[in-house]
Structure 1
């Protein structure tokens, strides 16, 4: 039996700021993970490609406000930093 992926543990190395900010990033990262897992069957960030994250930013956030898209983009920056990738997104 495999353990569920722990996003808090994954992001702990790059999370900084106030408690509320860290909680928001964790909540948003979990939402990103769930959407990608449901649509692309990629359960962990280690298996993601740039196109998966770009798909989330473009299609899942298209009905949200600019402020919400900005906050998700900041969470994506943390995910990319933790994955040690050089992905750049136009948000």
Structure 2
């Protein structure tokens, strides 16, 4: 039996700012992880590819407000930095 993935531990060194900001990033990162896990059965961010995150931003957040998409994009940037990837999703805000 394996332990569930701990997103808080995964992002521990990346989270800065006020308590509310850290909690928002953590809550959003867990939501991103949950949605990707439901769709592709990928339990950890280490298994994600760019297409999985792009799918989340386009499909799960497509009907949300521009402000909401922006805040999720900030969380995605933290995840990308933690994964040490060079993915760019700036174009997803242009809609």
Summarize deviations over 1:9-41 as a string: whole Å, max 9, x none.
000111110000000000000000000000011
CA distance in 2 between partners of 1:43 and 1:5 (Å): 7
1:82 corresponds to: 82
Pair 1:43 & 2:43 matched: yes
Pair 1:67 & 2:67 matched: yes
Tell me the CA shift for residue 77 of structure 1: 0.1
Q: Which runs of 5+ in 2 are unaligned?
A: none
1:53 corresponds to: 53
* Count of residue pairs the alignment pairs up: 91
CA distance in 1 between partners of 2:13 and 2:80 (Å): 12
2:22 corresponds to: 22
CA distance in 2 between partners of 1:42 and 1:6 (Å): 14
Give the CA RMSD over aligned residues. 0.5
CA distance in 1 between partners of 2:67 and 2:4 (Å): 30
Q: Which runs of 5+ in 1 are unaligned?
A: none
Moved over 2 A (4+): none
- TM-score in terms of structure 1 length: 0.98
CA distance in 2 between partners of 1:7 and 1:48 (Å): 14
